[in-house]
Amino acid sequence: MAKITKISASAIDDSLHEVTRQYLAGDLQKPQVLEHFPSKLVEIGITRYGPDGGKELPHTHKQAFEFQLMISGTTAYLDLITKEEHVFAAGDFYIIEPGVVYAQKSAANTEILFIKVPPGNDKVPWETDAELDKWFEKRIETGK
């Protein structure tokens, strides 16, 4: 029988005290802290960075589209092919298409809801260099 189920806000919050990324739905291969909803259609999760912020090393996705909603904070992406920087703040919604090669850095207390379609681990790591290391160290310019 069809039903409505939930993962409580407190369970999500508790799980994000132990890790920075928590999947809520997907056909996940790796164990995680929180019980999630199985799905072969989509992966949905939350990334939450604490007082030190965080970064995502350079990579691309072969087939996944990443839809992301900024819940709080600020994040910046550097397109490693075009060298264009994209900065997003609370309330912004954006998409990263398959094939974009990027690195990401987030300010303190940033939280992002992400949706990945199709699901699956299609991440391809990319080389880092001194120029990227300098970008990671630089404060995010918000333009405000």
H-helix or E-strand containing 95? strand 93-96
* Residue among 33, 30, 29 nearest 13 (CA): 33
pLDDT confidence of residue 144:
58
Q: Order the strands of the 111-117 sheet from edge to edge.
A: 37-38, 21-26, 43-48, 111-117, 65-72, 93-96
Domain CATH number, residue 47: 2.60.120.10
Per-residue pLDDT of the chain (144 residues; tens, 9 = 90+): 999 999 999 999 999 998 999 999 998 888 888 999 999 999 999 999 999 999 999 999 999 999 999 999 999 999 999 999 999 999 999 999 999 999 999 999 999 999 999 998 899 999 999 999 999 999 998 865
pLDDT confidence of residue 142:
80
Structural domain containing residue 49: 13-137
Contact status, residue 7 vs residue 24, Cβ threshold 8 Å:
yes
* pTM (predicted TM-score): 0.93
The answer to whether residue 4 sits within a structural domain is: no
